Amino acid sequence: MKSELVYIMSEVDDKYIIEASSCIEQNEKRSLYRFRYAFGVVAAIVCVIILSISNPVLARKLPFVGNIFEYLQDKLDFSGAYQNYSSNADMTVKSGGITVNIQETYCDGENLFVSYQIESDKAFSEYTSEEILKTQLDFDGVICAVSDGKGLNVGDFGVSGLEGEFVDEHTFIGVETVRLEDGVFPDTFVYEVQLYSWNLILNNGTEHKISGFWNLSIPITVNREEVEVIKVNASEENHNIDQVVVSPIMITIYTSYPELYNDNVNYEVVVFSEKTDNNITYQACYGNTEGKTWIPRNLVGDSLSIYVVDYSSFTLKGKDAYDKKEIEKHAIVSTHIDLTE
């Protein structure tokens, strides 16, 4: 049935196809500009790579030994003490010259963090002469959480693929962060991964794909240690801040609202902490009547202030859109949460 829908979509009016293609073409032009601007940097990096190839001892450092969460936990967007809450997984598969090892996992019920070590038989720089993004490795494939024989849809979160670093020419270590598209993770489930390619992200905006097939399956038990569910129940004009879930790595804010925002993106949850007057909302997903907003735990100290705004009710643009005083003035509903209580 779904494949038939693919063909129905094939026949949409030409004008919509052209309209969308203009986005792609404009983006290509922007990429080209960025590429030209970065040419000097790329040239320098190519020189370094050539030097490294001519001296393999420089190119291939000692293999990565140690705990990936411990090594990366202070460098990630969602930094935090992953190692204190994680469980060992240690599963390895190899295909297409790439060995994939899942080392550890941590699931706080809302989010699942998985540490990967990707080791290539040949140096990553041999796959392409383009500069490779050093902090991210993307992939194509299917990921799901299986519980009681049912597959639960999982969405990636934060950066696409793995966030981490190349520790040498042959090895990338990184963390994949995922969440369920609906609801929270069950107490136990299986993290199932079927990957078709690992994608080096190139400076020109494209990806170099390394194909293969990697199938991994890891049993997960949720660790709710130091996870706190705070019932807020603040409500004004049918706009509610329902609850806040605070885990060692992430804060998740649950909100609900009337069905007013189907055709626009005016609804937003803006969050400030005592650490900064800048909006610290990292990612959000707003449905017809319910939304979730995520904030890295490390951006919040002892308290946070949450504001629900409808941007159609006032006019603020650019950085002013998140001016704390204006947001306080125009918020439909707000709350202040003290995390030390």
Partner 1 sequence: MDDNKIIELYNCRSEDALIETEKKYGKLVTFIISKLIRNQLDIEECANDTYLGVWFTIPPKTPDNLKAYILKIARNQALKKYEYLHAAKRDIDKCLPYEELSNCLTQESVNGWEDNELKDIIDDFLASLSKSQRQVFMLRYWYFMPVNEISKCCNMSKSKAETILFRARNKLREYLGERGYL
Binding positions for partner 1, rule: CB under 8 A = 1-21, 23-28, 140, 142, 155, 160, 196-197, 205, 209, 211, 261-263, 265, 283-288
Alpha helices in the chain (DSSP H): 2-10, 14-37, 39-54, 56-59, 68-72, 324-330
Give the CA count within 13 Å in the CB-facing half-sphere of 264. Answer: 10
Choice between 262 and 340, CB closer to partner 1? 262
Question: Smallest gap, in angstroms, from Cβ of residue 286 to partner 1?
Answer: 5
- Residue 97: its H or E element: none
DSSP secondary structure letter of residue 289 = S
Q: How far, rounded to the nearest angstrom, does the alpha carbon of residue 5 sit from its chain's CA centroid? A: 29
Choice between 233 and 288, CB closer to partner 1? 288
Question: Smallest gap, in angstroms, from Cβ of residue 78 to partner 1?
Answer: 15
Choice between 205 and 301, CB closer to partner 1? 205
User: Do residues 279 and 322 make contact, with C-beta atoms less than 8 angstroms apart?
Assistant: yes
Question: Smallest gap, in angstroms, from Cβ of residue 179 to partner 1?
Answer: 12
Structure token pair of residue 284: 């959000």
User: Do residues 190 and 220 make contact, with C-beta atoms less than 8 angstroms apart?
Assistant: yes
Choice between 10 and 340, CB closer to partner 1? 10
User: Do residues 165 and 175 make contact, with C-beta atoms less than 8 angstroms apart?
Assistant: no
Question: Smallest gap, in angstroms, from Cβ of residue 194 to partner 1?
Answer: 9
Choice between 99 and 160, CB closer to partner 1? 160
Question: Smallest gap, in angstroms, from Cβ of residue 88 to partner 1?
Answer: 30
Q: How many CB atoms lie within 10 A of CB 121?
A: 11
All residues at 6 or more sequence positions from 200 whose CB lies less than 8 Å from its CB, including other chains: 124, 127, 128, 132, 133, 137, 207, 208, 209, 210
DSSP secondary structure letter of residue 322 = G
Q: Coil, helix or strand for 319?
A: helix
Question: Smallest gap, in angstroms, from Cβ of residue 102 to partner 1?
Answer: 21
Question: Smallest gap, in angstroms, from Cβ of residue 302 to partner 1?
Answer: 26
Structure token pair of residue 90: 């240690």
Choice between 23 and 57, CB closer to partner 1? 23
Structure token pair of residue 339: 């995390």
Q: Nearest CA to 167 among 124, 203, 122?
A: 124
Structure token pair of residue 229: 């569910």
Question: Smallest gap, in angstroms, from Cβ of residue 228 to partner 1?
Answer: 24
4: left (phi over 0), alpha (psi -120 to 50) or beta: alpha
Choice between 28 and 74, CB closer to partner 1? 28
Choice between 64 and 286, CB closer to partner 1? 286
Question: Smallest gap, in angstroms, from Cβ of residue 124 to partner 1?
Answer: 18
Choice between 88 and 264, CB closer to partner 1? 264
Q: Nearest CA to 127 among 214, 35, 213, 209?
A: 209
